[in-house]
Amino acid sequence: MNDQPNSASQPSSQTVPIETALKVITEGSVEKEHGLLRWSSNYAFLLGLRLDGTEVTAVYKPQKGERPLWDFPDGTLCFREYASFLTSQELGWQIVPPTALREGARGIGTMQFFIDHDPEVNYFTLDESFHNQLMRIVVFDSIVNNADRKGGHCLVDARGHIWGIDHGITFNTAHKLRTVIWDFAGQSISDRLLSDLERLCIALGNRQGVYRQQIEKLLSVGEIDAFQRRIDRLMELRKYPLPGPGPNYPWPPV
């Protein structure tokens, strides 16, 4: 389910720049806890953070609150969520909201910038004007092997930018892509997106680089190798993936 609460009943989201939001979430002090998000699959809390007079709201998902899954090692969802953010940043795509992996009142976990949005707007209500953004999200989900791209995991902010949330079940070594966004299956991927993937491929292969060293702290060797193969395969095919055998859609779809 969508881990972001109804914005009408929660503190308003911030108008601070994304770079500032990341700094506050990474370095700021927790000033208040607004409560547990009731519809989250795992324990998640809404927090208020402050740094140098700037306040932001964040969703805190502690590792201790992660629900065990048969196909993912216990206690790794927060690492996968953070790896997804770092990958989004490395690509320059701003798909995953600013996210930090840090200690909180309930131990280590992710803290993610809360995106103010209309809860009635999701993937299923978007028109063709959002297609370019959705195409980028599909490529991202393909390479991180997102097993849970529900319609409600696409949040549109006041500027019309689509943010993706809930990336805890990603980077599995086995094919796990489950998404509601199959609109572009079989179509060609743009040269611009392929160029971005090539840059990511180089960064991932550079063992002395910052991105690779960060990823090595979050994923296993096998998961990194599988990640590299997915990027290589998509660059070779130059087309959006087709639904494969087995479950291709998450449940529930929203």
pLDDT in tens, 183-219: 999 999 999 999 999 999 999 999 999 999 999 999 9
Mean pLDDT of 111-135: 95
Q: What share of the chain is helix, strand, coil (3-state, %, to 5)?
A: 35, 20, 45
Residue 251 pLDDT exceeds 50: yes
Q: Could you report the per-residue pLDDT of 61-76, keeping only the tens digit for each?
A: 999 999 999 999 999 9
Quote the tokens at residue 124. 């299923």
Q: Which amino acid, 168?
A: G
Quote the tokens at residue 237. 């095919």
Q: Could you report the per-residue pLDDT of 143-177, keeping only the tens digit for each?
A: 999 999 999 999 999 999 999 999 999 999 999 99
Give, in order, the Cα–Cα distances in Å from 101 to each of 61, 88, 191, 199.
10, 15, 33, 24
CB atoms within 10 A of CB 223: 21
Q: Could you report the per-residue pLDDT of 87-99, keeping only the tens digit for each?
A: 999 999 999 999 9
186 closest CA partner among 154, 138, 119: 138
Length of the chain, in residues: 254
Q: Which amino acid, 234?
A: L
Domains in the chain, please, with CATH? Answer: 12-237 (1.10.510)
248 closest CA partner among 133, 135, 126, 148: 148
CB atoms within 10 A of CB 72: 18
52 closest CA partner among 36, 30, 28, 79: 28
